[in-house]
Structure 1
Amino acid sequence: MVQVVNAASDARYGIGLLATAIASFVLVAGMFGLSVVFGYAGLPHLRAGRISTRAALGLHCLVTGVVATMGVSLSSVVSHGSDSLPDDGRWLLCGAVAAYFTLGVVTGVASRSSDAQRTISRIITGIALPLLLGLLATDVSGRALVVCLALVVLAHLPGAVAGMH
């Protein structure tokens, strides 16, 4: 969020910047919720005690890299305003979300923290959808792309709550 705020300090203030900031916050806060409240070791949908501490530490480092990538991507969205992102920026943003969910799905399957129905749903919504956005959203504004990705993350929260029971 620091990178987003820094980029916003040079941007023209208006409703578009506010919308981008809110969507960015929702995206990052949603990932935080999935990782910390409904996950383990920073991984979404993983239950505590299902993987070794050493594996958790290594995977946590990977998730941290994905989150750092999100910061760079989101600051790029703020800088571009209502324009569409360049291909590399769009792929970096969408790829980071897909990588985040890929780590969660792989560890969830490997640790038996997830059933087949939830795993398939997470693959479709958390991995395939962001990758399709990366591929097809060439003329979509960066702002709209962040809103779409925030909705992807938010769609996983009810499933996380249901998975706790």
Structure 2
Amino acid sequence: MNELSSAHAASGEDRHASWLELFFDLVAVAGVAQIAHLLHDGGATELGQYVLLFLAFWTAWICFTLYGNVAGERTHTRTVLAAMFCMAVMAAAVPGVHAGENGQARALALAYVVVRLLANRVWRHRREILVDWPAAQMSLGVIPWIVSLWAHEPARYWLWALGIALDLYVTFTVSARDIVESHRAHDRRERKRSSRREALLPVSVAAPDADHLSERLGLFVIIVLGEGVAQVIEAASEVSWNRRLYGLASAAFLLLVALWSLSFRHGYAGVPYLTARSLPARAALPLHCFLCGCLAALAAGLGAATEHLETLPDGTRWLLCASLAGYFLLTGIAALRQPGGTQRWLLSVVLPCCSLPLLIAGFGAGLGTVAVVWLLVAVTLWPTVYEGRRSGRAAPAARPEP
């Protein structure tokens, strides 16, 4: 347990998301919804845009989520509200980016740059180093986004991808010592520019509150699962209600419930089979990001499936199946840190849950829409069934003799 978590435990206080943080998370609802709609067409271009924009939106969200986590009651409300406005601009600009509108693309890039610079500013003001996510306070990945303000597609998208890649590079390669040296170099430059030679406060290492961060990450997963329900409801309001729709809606709801159960009843921070502190934050946060990306893609696939009740287009079938396979692949990565029985669990659960959806995607062209979604429900329920059977076999052996 880190120092901040220990302090809360010692005081007997359970810290939960504040009203400001919940308000901030509502922006994620709009952003995820707009980005997920990109996948309704199911093309390669839309998939690339989805990946770029989801990573950018999640990065902007996590920068201020971590800031609120560390700052607590000292969070600057006006700064968070400014970041919220910029993220709302990003969400509103998504359809324009998809349509190739230069004005909306520039607005999205500018809003993203402002969010990242605001995050960098608050961390420098706090004189703290966030070693768990250094990209939140280093602006290397922002430079390509600034350059993209004068670029046109497709160069604009390549610059955005370069910015995301640089952020990932910083996250996995920059050490705490490197960040300290960067802050000290910045302080030396500031002292040279200033006529006053005032002493600056020493830089300290920020220790996130693990329990509070887990709650915020879980809330984001809930938002994404809720978007799946919203996608089906929106599509169902525009089609004729018949037996196929009833069967699909039931299957879609049960699929999302099964995913909720895996993520929260058998997981941590919304990631199935992840346990508290089993992974460092530098590994757990990207895992959370990619898993949410798969869930949002699945939500878009369910919405598109509701519009094609007889037979799924190939792109939609692959979107549904591949996103579920990706979800279970990331689940397997999280389960690697589980003690004991991991190899058997990976072979019995993760392997079939990853391979069966891909087989359905590749050879299920003749299947109806409802049949495909119900097959995915069966795949998603298998981990729970397997765990129940294994617990049932282990219970008699563990039962004490009378």
Q: What is the TM-score with the length of structure 2 in the denominator?
A: 0.38
How many Å apart are 1:107 and its aligned residue? 2.2
Counterpart of 1:69 in structure 2 is: 297
How many Å apart are 1:158 and its aligned residue? 2.9
User: RCO higher in 1 or 2 (8 Å CA, sep ≥ 6)?
Assistant: 1
Counterpart of 1:24 in structure 2 is: 252
Secondary structure at the residue paired with 1:138?
coil
Contact kept in structure 1, 2:321 and 2:361, CA below 8 Å:
yes
Tell whether 2:272 aligns with 1:39: no
Q: Give the one of 140, 152, 155 matched to 2:379.
A: 152
Q: What is the TM-score with the length of structure 1 in the denominator?
A: 0.90
Distance 2:269 2:368 in 1: 33
Q: Give the one of 227, 232, 239 matched to 1:11.
A: 239
Please provide the CA RMSD for this pair.
Answer: 1.8
Mapping 1:116-135, distance limit 5 Å = 116-135=343-362
How many Å apart are 1:160 and its aligned residue? 4.2
Distance 1:56 1:160 in 2: 24
Secondary structure at the residue paired with 2:311?
coil
Which structure's CA Rg is the greater one? 2
Deviates more, 1:41-50 or 1:9-18: 41-50
Contact kept in structure 1, 2:322 and 2:361, CA below 8 Å:
yes
- Structure 2 gap ranges (5+): 1-228, 395-402
Distance 1:45 1:107 in 2: 6
How many Å apart are 1:67 and its aligned residue? 0.9
How many Å apart are 1:4 and its aligned residue? 0.6
Q: Deviations over 1:104-150 (max 9, x none)?
A: 112212x2455211110123321011110011001111211000000
Contact kept in structure 2, 1:4 and 1:21, CA below 8 Å:
yes
- Residue 363 of structure 2 aligns with an amino acid whose one-letter code is L
Same amino acid, percent of matched pairs: 32
Tell whether 2:277 aligns with 1:49: yes
- After superposing on structure 2, the runs of 4+ consecutive aligned residues of structure 1 that deviate more than 6 Å are none
Q: Give the one of 227, 230, 233 matched to 1:2.
A: 230
Counterpart of 2:326 in structure 1 is: 99
Distance 1:68 1:31 in 2: 12
Distance 1:15 1:137 in 2: 21
- Structure 1 gap ranges (5+): none
Q: Deviations over 1:4-35 (max 9, x none)?
A: 10000001112211110110011111011101
Tell whether 2:361 aligns with 1:142: no
Distance 1:104 1:42 in 2: 11
Paired residues in the alignment total 162
How many Å apart are 1:88 and its aligned residue? 1.0
Q: Deviations over 1:29-49 (max 9, x none)?
A: 101110111012322222333
Counterpart of 2:307 in structure 1 is: 79
Go from structure 1 to structure 2 and tell me whether the alpha carbon gap of 1:104 and 1:146 turns closer, same or farther (over 3 Å shift): same
- Residue 142 of structure 1 aligns with an amino acid whose one-letter code is T
Deviates more, 1:1-10 or 1:53-62: 53-62
How many Å apart are 1:93 and its aligned residue? 0.4
